[in-house]
A = this chain, B = another copy of it.
Amino acid sequence: MDMAADREQRVPRVVIVGAGFAGLWAARELGRGPAEVVLVDRQNHHTFLPLLYQVATAELEPEEIAYPIRSIVRRLPRARFVMAEVQAVDLEARRVTGDGLTLPYDYLVLAAGSAPHFFDIPGAAEHAFPLKSLEDAVRLRNHVLWCFERAAREPQEARHRRLTFVIIGGGPTGVEFAGALAELLRGPVAADYPMVRAGDVRVVLLEATDRLLPGLPDRLGAYALARLRGMGIDVRLGAPVSEVTAEAVRVRGGEPLAAETVVWTAGVRGAPAAGRWGLPVGRGGRVPVLPTLQVPGHPDVYVAGDLAYLEEGGRPLPMIAPVAIQQARCAARNIRRQLAGKAAVPFRYQDPGMLATIGRGAAVAHVWGKQMTGFPAWVLWLGVHLVNLIGFRNRLLVLVNWAWDYLFYERAVRLILPSPGRG
């Protein structure tokens, strides 16, 4: 790749680590010059994480929320993509290494994202299903369907534990997954398994605090609670989990709740790689940055997205896509400013609002200072996610799948593929 040669010609190079929302948007902003951009990711695709729960509930196929990074990068004349796992970052020598490659940089954007955060709850990391990657989603989908295949062959008394699905965490992911799972189980799965009685199936949502959707106004949390309970979901508030085993979940001070499937949506932390790379790691495993998104003492190193720790109004910025995209733009602008000999400017978050879907025709939205619930919020949610889903073809296929589900109460994706974790 002639990297050494380029370097000698003193073409400034920006290395971007991670092709999630932050990394990809930074590459888009910088990929037309004047610097050269190298985008590094261990995967060859970007994953549209906000729809991951739909893969886990057999609504969408994994390919529909993934997009080849090279398809995006090839439209950027000054950018290229390298598929590699970054093993080390040398802030002094200004280079990134991994998978046998060495990439010197003039500016570095670290956008390695986040990982599940189990808060040291015993057994959670071992026994709960995370929902942070396409592999996680496919594994969870396979497992849910496998539970029904097992239950179909078992006597009635064994089914209760086998068909209890516990979701830990009442934030947007937990609420969206719980709603979609309940619809899957009460719709197409119920039709596929007539021998399983509705009473044998249970979806439980455990939330440690006293309300759902803590980032949204109280009224929207209450609406979500009423809707989920109306769908037959056993929502328990003020129920902090103290232990997860292979057999059950225990809520602090309570009896164990026997369940074959426990899904973890209760927390995320900065990607553990940051610590291995020797970066200073603070609260929630995130890297504290200056308001300009630079790492203190390293004006050539930016952190953007979930990995960056920055407070605004005394509270840490949330680990969500809009923050990641806006930070990527800010970091890109600051690098361009530095290249032009100007000073970096601080990041300001423009909150576009929050959306969460609960089920067919039901969602909550807090946008433009307004609160919306029900069908209008759901239509808004559909539109926002379709528009933001990368790639026109993906949008088309997702729309076909959604329309199909909506019209026929059917999900065709309920396959156990390629079938890991059967045992």
Q: Using CB atoms and an 8 Å cutoff, list the residues of chain A in contact with chain B.
A: 1, 43-45, 61-64, 66-68, 70-71, 74, 82-84, 100-101, 134-135, 138, 145, 149, 152-153, 191-195, 391, 393-394, 396-397, 400-401, 404, 410, 412-419
Contact = CB atoms under 8 A, between A and B. Distances in A.
Contacts of A416: 43-45, 83
A412 B68 CA distance: 7
Interface-centre pick from A1, A62, A70, A419 (highest chain B CB count, 10 A):
A70
Nearest to A60: B63
B1 A195 contact: yes
A145 to B, nearest CB: 6
A84 B154 CA distance: 13
Given A74-B192, A419-B43, A404 B414 contact: no
Contacts of A67: 412
B391 A44 contact: no
Given A192-B74, A193-B70, A415-B68, A84 B400 contact: no
A73 to B, nearest CB: 9
Contact of A134 (B393, B401, B412, B417): B417
A313 to B, nearest CB: 40
Number of chain copies forming the complex: 2
A417 B192 contact: no
- Overall SS of chain A's interface: mixed
A45 B416 CA distance: 7
Given A145-B44, A394-B412, A191 B74 contact: yes
A206 to B, nearest CB: 28
Nearest to A195: B1
A202 B140 CA distance: 39
Contact of A153 (B43, B63, B84, B145): B84
8 tightest CB-CB pairs across the interface, nearest first? A70-B192, A83-B149, A61-B63, A135-B418, A45-B415, A44-B416, A393-B412, A66-B415
26 contacts: A43-B416, A44-B149, A44-B414, A61-B62, A61-B63, A61-B64, A62-B418, A63-B417, A67-B412, A68-B412, A68-B414, A68-B415, A70-B192, A71-B412, A82-B153, A83-B149, A83-B152, A83-B416, A100-B153, A101-B153, A135-B418, A138-B418, A393-B410, A394-B412, A397-B400, A397-B401
